[in-house]
Amino acid sequence: MICSMTGYGSGKSQAGNATIEVEVKSVNGRSRDIRCNFPRDFLLFENAIRDVVKKQLSRGQITVFLKYNQENTDVIPFNKSQVREAVEKFKELAKSTGLSPEGNLDTLLRFLSNNNILQENFSAEKLRAPLMKATAQAIKSHISSRAKEGAALVKDIKSRIKTIDKKNAEIKKLAPQVVKAYQKKVNSRIEQLKKQADVEFDPVRVITEIGIFSERVDITEEITRLKAHTNIFVKTLNKGGVIGKRLDFILQEMFREITTIGNKCNNAEISGSIVIMKEELEKMREQVQNLE
């Protein structure tokens, strides 16, 4: 399976009357960069979440979002033992200072709220299991998203590699015409000079010059290497896995061979094919940079 580095996934689980939602988003990147966007009370889980993500995702800029939603209830949550303790301390303080321990509920609630006694103690550790469950769901959904986009990218890339192979085959057929055209041009020029200046030319020297030109524009090796690169490229695609960097390297080698062919051959048809091949390569490079 080949995955894109761009994807999205989400997961959800219940923790009592609370809901934990985890979202995993990613975009392409040269390596693996994991970022966690958690509420403060959940920061202690960051390393554990990172370890889970590392086992599943190899490349990309990955962001994990966590949402914790507490359902509203009609019952006021408070710590009864702490409330009783606070009231007793108020009474002791009043007695020790000779004041009357009078007050009302509004005063008591205001004090308790300011000192975080109204809320039951928040135990994030109790949420570890549901958090991991939601994270596992989000990563599974995320991988499915990346795989779907990766399949679409591979399909597009394979169609472009076929175009390059086709143009390479066309260039192979046109290559001999380059030397023939040069030879015809030289012979025509010689005949023209003979008529103008009545000069004799050494046929051996002419053949030698044509031979030198033939070696200079010979693209047999480049055509062969380019075909070898496209074969390796397709085999790597078919193998699957984490192959983005390897494919990018192969594309660089293909670009080098195509550029050399274009520089050697001064032929309009070949130049046209070179332009098309470079356009396809550029599009393929953009696609490959999104593969994991």
- Asked if residue 82 has pLDDT above 80, the reply is no
Residue 203 lies in a domain: yes
- Asked if residue 115 has pLDDT above 60, the reply is no
**Is 135 in the same domain as 249?**
no
Instruction: In whole angstroms, give the CA distance from residue 266 to residue 118.
Output: 85
Residue 1 lies in a domain: no
Of 75 and 158, the structure prediction assigns the larger pLDDT to 158
pLDDT band at 49 (very low <50, low <70, confident <90, very high): very high
Residue 277 lies in a domain: yes
Find all residues with CB under 8 Å of 53, minimum gap 6, and list them: 24, 34, 62, 64, 139
**Is 266 in the same domain as 173?**
yes
Of 22 and 263, the structure prediction assigns the larger pLDDT to 22
Residue 31 lies in a domain: yes
Q: Tokens at residue 162, please? A: 């076929």
pLDDT band at 75 (very low <50, low <70, confident <90, very high): very low
Give the CATH number of the domain where residue 46 resides. 3.30.230.10
Ranges 132-136, 172-176, 179-183, 267-271, most confident: 132-136
CA nearest neighbour of 132 among 60, 61, 58, 42 = 42
Segment 86-113 shows an average pLDDT of 72
Residue 170 lies in a domain: yes
**Is 225 in the same domain as 133?**
no
pLDDT band at 35 (very low <50, low <70, confident <90, very high): very high
Of 93 and 236, the structure prediction assigns the larger pLDDT to 236
- Asked if residue 177 has pLDDT above 90, the reply is no
Residue-wise pLDDT tens digits, 212-225: 665 666 788 889 99
Looking at the chain, the whole-number percentage of residues with pLDDT higher than 90 is 49
- Asked if residue 88 has pLDDT above 60, the reply is yes
Look up the domain containing 266 and give its range. 151-288
Decide which of 114, 140, 175 is a domain's last residue: 114
Q: 């175009």: which residue's tokens?
A: 163
**Is 252 in the same domain as 222?**
yes
**Is 163 in the same domain as 248?**
yes
**Is 92 in the same domain as 185?**
no
**Is 64 in the same domain as 159?**
no
**Is 56 in the same domain as 107?**
no
Segment 63-84 shows an average pLDDT of 72
Residue 209 lies in a domain: yes
CA nearest neighbour of 134 among 53, 66, 57, 36 = 66
Looking at the chain, the whole-number percentage of residues with pLDDT higher than 70 is 75
Domain count, the chain: 3
What's residue 95's pLDDT?
Answer: 78
Residue 284 lies in a domain: yes
Instruction: In whole angstroms, give the CA distance from residue 57 to residue 178.
Output: 50
Give the CATH number of the domain where residue 162 resides. 1.20.120
**Is 214 in the same domain as 91?**
no
**Is 157 in the same domain as 141?**
no
**Is 142 in the same domain as 11?**
yes
Q: What is the mean pLDDT of the chain?
A: 83
**Is 43 in the same domain as 104?**
no
- Asked if residue 22 has pLDDT above 80, the reply is yes
What's residue 174's pLDDT?
Answer: 86
Residue 161 lies in a domain: yes
Instruction: In whole angstroms, give the CA distance from residue 172 to residue 184.
Output: 20
DSSP state, residue 17: T
Residue-wise pLDDT tens digits, 224-235: 999 999 999 999
